[in-house]
Amino acid sequence: MGAHGGRVSLLWRCVVRRSVLVTGATSGVGLGVALRLAGAGFDVFATARDEPKAEKLRAVAAECAVGLRTVLLDVADADSCRRACAEVAEATDGGPWALVNNAGVPLVGAVEDLEDAAVRQLLEVNVVGAARMARLVLPGMRERGEGRIVNVSSLAGRITAPGMGWYCAGKAALGALNDALRMEAGPGGVRVAVVEAGAYASAIQGRAADGLAALTGRQTLFGDMYRVAEAALRESGTRLPSAEPVVSAVCRALVARRPRHRYVVGRQAKAGLLADALVPVRVKDHFKRVAMGAPAHPLVEYAARRWCTPW
């Protein structure tokens, strides 16, 4: 068994080949979850958007000495979702025991600077796609009388920052859908949980920075904010923690006898939620503006960028 399986508790090894479908499994949290579960003996179906990415995923799994199966999936495409779920259902005699909704995309920029097409794509991937996948796997879970759905979200779903309005709106919507689904699916034996993570190193920072770089070339009131945020995003990969705690939280939600309804991961996330609940709105707004580039006293700038930035 590879290194990813060696860290798993004995409880995991008691699980007999339960199947798990992991979306967005080619990098970051999705890849970590897929490898960890495969190393623990789960029957993992890891999704990739195209065959070259699927091939790379299989190569990484082989290097880690774990076995998993790849499935082509674009969560923003309804037909692709149906094909992927049908493929998994055929391989598992009815569908996966668990679904990990991890696929997601970033979108940064002021509300007035973002076009409808970009917003629709964000919501299609981060919200509609996750709900669609849940809808497709739920009948099989209910028929067996058990199952798990874990939605991977973010602190951005609970705390809004300037320049991230649509991304935060999508994560907030995912959290609301998670809560409704938990109540609706519970009587059928399906446990639903959400993992809300603080900032961790991933490819999403680079993609968000590229989006901001494109916006800085436009006529906008927020050019200075975008330049500060872009620099912070590109630098963040050198100081942010790894995604390991998020991977562990997702896996705990899958194997716990009674999973929590919500897993908040990281000191930044927990401190941020506490501050957001206690600090007056005007003060919060000021600190968040400073974190995104507004001028202020150096000590205020340091504090704001240390605690208020979403990366």
Domains of the chain are 3-201+240-277 (3.40.50.720)
**Residue 309: which pLDDT band, with cuts at 50, 70 and 90?**
low
Active site annotation includes 167: yes
Q: What pLDDT, on the 0 to 100 scale, is given for residue 214?
A: 87
pLDDT tens readout for residues 119-140: 999 999 999 999 999 999 999 9
- Per-residue pLDDT at 296 exceeds 80: no
User: Is 13 or 304 the better-scoring residue by pLDDT?
Assistant: 304
pLDDT tens readout for residues 37-88: 999 999 999 999 999 999 999 999 999 999 999 999 999 999 999 999 999 9
User: Is 12 or 116 the better-scoring residue by pLDDT?
Assistant: 116
Strand runs labelled E in the chain: 19-22, 43-48, 69-72, 98-101, 147-154, 190-197, 262-265
Mean pLDDT, the chain, integer: 89
Return the percentage of the chain with pLDDT > 70, whole number: 91
pLDDT tens readout for residues 257-275: 999 999 999 887 888 888 8
User: Pick the catalytic residue: 167, 200, 226, 263?
Assistant: 167
Strand runs labelled E in 169-281: 190-197, 262-265
Q: Using CA atoms, how far apart are residues 186 and 212, in angstroms rounded to an integer?
A: 41
Q: Using CA atoms, how far apart are residues 283 and 238, in angstroms rounded to an integer?
A: 29
Query: Would you call 11 exposed, middle or buried from its count of C-beta atoms within 10 A (0-12, 13-18, 19+)?
Result: exposed
Assigned token pair, 34: 């897929």
Residue 78 parent element (H or E): helix 78-92
Helical axes 267-278 vs 298-307, angle rounded to 10°: 120
User: Is 248 or 218 the better-scoring residue by pLDDT?
Assistant: 248
pLDDT tens readout for residues 151-207: 999 999 999 989 999 999 999 999 999 999 999 999 999 999 999 988 777 778 888
Of the given ranges (4-13, 167-176, 219-228), which has the lowest mean pLDDT?
4-13
- Per-residue pLDDT at 235 exceeds 70: yes
